[in-house]
Amino acid sequence: METRTYTTIDLRKQMGEILDRTRIAGEPAAITRKGKTLAYLVPAEWFEHYQQLAEGASANQDAA
């Protein structure tokens, strides 16, 4: 799936549409300012999965 890129101005003008595309269609979005990526917007499930993986990796390092 291709990541769509939006400027901060796009984000201000199209917040609802961008959030819907991310939430409903599962499309990630890169948010940029002056050509540099500031953040990525991803579906909540993706982030929650990432957090679980990160917590598991941290627990494995602590056990080692």
User: Tens digits of per-residue pLDDT, 2-21?
Assistant: 899 999 999 999 999 999 99
What pLDDT does residue 2 have? 87
User: Tens digits of per-residue pLDDT, 19-57?
Assistant: 999 999 999 999 999 999 999 999 999 999 999 999 988
Which residue has 């890129």 as its token pair? 5
Residue among 6, 4, 1, 3 nearest 38 (CA): 6
pTM of the model: 0.77
What pLDDT does residue 60 have? 78
Residue among 64, 15, 25, 60 nearest 46 (CA): 25
The pair of structure tokens assigned to 20 is 């819907």
Whole-number Å distance between alpha carbons of 41 and 58: 24
What pLDDT does residue 64 have? 64
